[in-house]
Structure 1
Amino acid sequence: MTYDSYGNLTVAGVADYLKEKAIFPADAFLTVVDLHAVKESIEGFVNLIYHVYDQTGKSVVMKQMLSMPRFRIEDEKNNTVEDTDSEGWTLDLGRMRSEIATLIFWNSVYPGISPEIYLFDEPNRIIVMEDLMDLSLLRFELCRMVKHGHFTEKIGAFFARNLFYSSNLHLTNYKKSEVERFFVNPEYTALVPFLFHENIGVSWEREMIPGTAEKRAELVENPQIKAQFRRLEDKFLNDRECLIHTDLHSSNIMISATDVRIIDGEFAGFGPLAQDFGRLTASLTLNYLSWFGDDLRTAPEKADFQAYLLNTITDLYTTFQTEFRQLVETHREESYSLKTLDVEVYLIDQLQNALAYTGVNVMSRLANRGICYDLLRLPEAARLVPTLLGMDISKELLLNHRNYTTITDYTRLLKNLV
């Protein structure tokens, strides 16, 4: 059977489908690998994802959004994936359309930053795209202490170009409104409950490891922190600054010695760049903190890699700011808004909001449900110190982000933790 009873392709059906669509020749001998069976290759539960290749070495990745009422639950602790009923859960195909359009747009502003799309079959909820299996997820590279010096150069420049070319800095009000309508995504708000409502900084809903309750109470009971969460949620929902990924953590970036790609733009839409910056900075911060609980590496090894992470955070923001300044100068005569823009004030505001979102995003990955791999790889008892430090940093950033005017102010905070 090519399709199961829910209209999802079977493994055998994947090969037939790709030949039918002329992605591969009819006589090709295809190998189909379910990437959910390869732990480091993929995360998520709403897509079937396959790596397909022939005897010549040609290869693609095929993604099919699961047809309800079936979806996948990933059990990270036991390393299993199971299908289950999903009564009451629906996913809009607009999410898949948005991902395609977003990846294509990002490749237009920074060629090669996202995988190339070969086919979009909307009726069957299928995307066929460039194979990036030679790359690794950035999160796992960081947890192996692998350094990538080119990462910040590409992502920092991409952030600047994406902000500039999808915002009012470059687009007229009419053109921007048209672009916003094109990129409307019904899944844009998918992270709102996770980030702003169930977050350990404002709620007791999600469980945490023992030893965190007292410090957690300081967060949950602080009215200023609650006010910051409301402000940042409102900004996320209503500040349509530019096209953002919304979920740009280190498991949505693939990397090699020469290449960097952004993947999984399913939740993308128009919002504040500070959320993307904050989510990525939170990923780097969480990895930095995780080494305080790691007993497998020597002290010099951990200190060396933490220094690399501080430089990475600094270079990411520095590259972004340098590229942004150049874009403004190149295009300044094209619009009144650019002529009157105070670039330095603008960049400081971007930094401060990014750091506030960093605080929210760090805390969102400290609870047992939703914990980041950087901490999950540690024995539970070894997670306490990194977790408490993460709570301290988040509190500081939410309450005092306006005191930070350079990224080195933040890296200095990390460096002086212990």
Structure 2
Amino acid sequence: MTYDSYGNLTTTGVANYLKEKEIFPNDANLTVVDLHAVKESIEGFVNLIYHVYDESGKSVIMKQMLSMPRFRIEDEKNNTVEDNDGDGWTLDLGRMRSEIATLIFWNSVYPGICPEIYLFDEPARIIVMEDLMDLSLLRFELCRMVKHEHFTNKIGSFFARNLFFSSNLHLTKYKKSEVERFFINPEYTALAEVLFHENIGISWEREMLSGTAQKRAELVENPAIQIEFKRLENKFLEDKECLIHTDLHSSNIMISANDVRIIDGEFAGFGPLSQDFGRLTGSLTLNYVSWFGDDDRTPQEKTDFQAYLRKTIENLYTTFQQEFRQLVATYQKESYRLKNLDVDRYLIEQLQNSLSYAGINIMSRLGNRGLCHDLSRIPETNRLIPTLLSLDISKELLLNHQDYTDIKDFTKLLKNLNPSF
């Protein structure tokens, strides 16, 4: 059978489809692997994703957006993935169009930062792209204490180039408006509800680990924090600064000893770069605090890796700032706006907003529903201290981000964390 009853390709159908589209020759002996069956290959369950290869070594990744009313859910207890009724939940095909355009644009800004696209079949909701199976998700690498020193150079430089070349720092007002219209994505606001309304720092809607209620109340019942949530939500929805990923955590970055790729730009659109910076900083921070609840590593191993994470965060920001300053200097002569730009002030504001977004993004991954792998990988009995530390960090960043003028101010906060409660 080539298609199931919902019009989604079966495993056999995937092989036939790729031959019909001449991605592989008709006589190729193809192996098709459902990546949802491989625990560490993928996070997220709104697409069918396959790794396909032949005996010669040629390989591709094929993604098909699920045809509703079905979606995939993960049963972590039984280690299974099932297709279920979607209860009316639908996905807009526009997110797939946006992902294609975004990946192509980002590869033009920083060649090789995203997988190459081989085929986009809109009617069938299918993308065929470069195989990155030799790479691993950054989140799982961090949870194995694997160090990647080159990671920050590429991501930091990419952040600077993307900000510069997709914003009014480089584009004329007319050109930027045209680019914004091209990248309109109906799914851009998909994270808004999770970040700004269901977040455990502003609502009691989502359950949390027992023992966290008091610190959580200090957030939910603090008027200043509620005001900051609203400011960041408005900025996310209204500040069309540049083309952002919106969901750039460590599970949307793939990495190897000499390569780094950004994946899954389905929610990308024009917004504040500080959300991308904050989401990634939050991801690295959650990994940092998770080691306070890990009993499998020695104290020296944990101390050493946490020092690596602090240096990683520092290098991410300093690389971004250095690349940004260089771009400003290169194009300053031809731009009135750049000639009058207070670069120091601009970068400090980027840092402060990024850290405040980091606070919100950290809290968005602490609820029992949506708990990040960094914490879910450790026994539930060991999660309380990392969770309480995360709440303290988030509270500090939301209330006092304007006191931070250098990224080392933040890494100093991490270094001085006291895990004794």
TM-score using structure 2 length: 0.99
Partner of 1:359: 359
Query: Aligned to 2:7, what secondary structure does the other structure show?
Result: coil
Q: Which residue of 1 aligns with 2:194?
A: 194
User: What corresponds to 1:319 in structure 2?
Assistant: 319
Partner Cα distance (1:377, 1:344) in 2 = 40
CA displacement at 1:147 relative to structure 2: 0.1
Q: Could you tell me how far 1:43 is from its partner in structure 2?
A: 1.2
Matched with 1:329 is 329
Of stretches 77-86 and 215-224 in structure 1, the one that deviates more from structure 2 is 77-86
Aligned-pair CA distance for 1:77: 3.8
Name the structure 2 match of 1:219. 219
Distance in structure 1 (CA, Å) of the matches to 2:76 and 2:43 = 10
Q: C-alpha separation between the residues in 2 aligned to 1:346 and 1:78? A: 49
Deviations 1:22-41 (A, max 9, x none): 00001100000000000100
Post-superposition offset of 1:75: 2.5
Task: Note the C-alpha offset of 1:119.
Answer: 0.1
Shift of 1:260: 0.2
The reply to whether residue 108 of structure 1 matches residue 115 of structure 2 is no
Residue deviations 1:227-273, cap 9 Å, x none? 00000000000000000000000000000000000000000000000
Alignment-mate amino acid for residue 80 of structure 2:
T
Q: Which residue of 2 aligns with 1:60?
A: 60
Deviation at 1:333, TM superposition (A): 1.3
| Alpha-carbon separation, structure 2, partners of 1:88 and 1:34 | 25
What is the distance in 2 between the residues matched to 1:146 and 1:2? 40
1:78, distance to aligned residue in structure 2 (A): 3.2
Local SS of the residue matching 2:45: coil
Structure 2: tracts of 5 or more residues without a match = none
- 1:79, distance to aligned residue in structure 2 (A): 2.1
* Distance in 2, Cα, partners of 1:249 & 1:147: 17
1:62 Cα shift?
0.1
Q: For the residues of structure 2 that align with 1:93 and 1:40, how far apart are their CA atoms?
A: 26
Amino acid at match of 1:208: M
1:89-134 Cα shifts (integer Å, max 9, x gaps): 1111100000000000000000000000000000000000000000
Residue 381 of structure 1: how far off its partner (Å): 1.1
Q: Please give the alpha-carbon distance, in whole angstroms, between the structure 2 residues aligned to 1:213 and 1:300.
A: 32
The Cα offsets for residues 136-155 of structure 1, whole Å up to 9 and x where unpaired, read as: 00000000000000000000
Task: Tell me how far apart the structure 2 counterparts of residues 296 and 15 of structure 1 sit (CA, whole Å).
Answer: 42
- Give, as a single letter, the amino acid of the residue that structure 1 aligns with 2:380: E
| Residue identity in the other structure for 1:375 | L
* Pairing 1:267–2:267 present: yes
AA paired with 2:148? H
- Residue type matched to 1:376 in 2? S
User: 1:50: which partner in 2?
Assistant: 50
Structure 1: state its 5+ residue gaps.
Answer: none
Q: Which amino acid is 1:365 matched to?
A: R
Distance, in Å, in 1 between the alignment partners of 2:300 and 2:106 is 39
Q: Deviations over 1:261-313 (max 9, x none)?
A: 00000000000000000000000000000000001100000000000000000
1:14-29 correspondence to structure 2 within 5 Å: 14-29=14-29
Partner amino acid for 1:336?
A: Y
Q: Deviation string for 1:36-93 (max 9, x for gaps)?
A: 0001001112100000000000000000000011111123343221101113211111
Report the Cα offset of residue 219 of structure 1: 0.5
**Counterpart of 2:71 in 1: which secondary structure?**
strand
Q: Note the 1:5-404 alignment, pairs <5 A.
A: 5-404=5-404
My pick for the range that moved more, 1-10 or 172-181, is: 1-10
Distance 2:326 2:79 in 1: 46
The CA distance in 2 between the partners of 1:187 and 1:81, in whole Å, is 24
SS in 1 for 2:383: helix
- Secondary structure, in 3 states, of the residue corresponding to 2:133? coil
Moved more, 37-46 or 354-363: 37-46
Cα distance in structure 2, aligned partners of 1:408 and 1:123? 49
2:337 maps to a residue whose letter is S
Q: Letter of the aligned partner of 2:207 in structure 1?
A: E
Alignment partners' CA distance in 1, 2:40 and 2:175: 41
Distance 1:23 1:324 in 2: 39
- Matched length: 418
What is the root-mean-square deviation of aligned Cα atoms in Å?
0.6
Q: Give 1:334 deviation, angstroms.
A: 1.6
Secondary structure at 2:321's aligned position in 1?
A: helix
- Per the TM alignment, residue 6 of structure 1 is displaced from its structure 2 partner at its CA by 1.0
SS in 2 for 1:410: helix
Q: Give the C-alpha shift of residue 4 in structure 1.
A: 1.2
Cα distance in 1 for partners of 2:81, 2:4 equals 18
| SS of aligned partner of 1:254 | strand
User: How big is the shift at 1:336?
Assistant: 1.0
Q: Secondary structure at the match of 2:33?
A: strand
Moved over 3 A (4+): none
CA–CA distance in structure 2, aligned partners of residues 182 and 368 of structure 1: 37
Cα distance in 1, alignment partners of residues 44 and 165 from structure 2 = 30
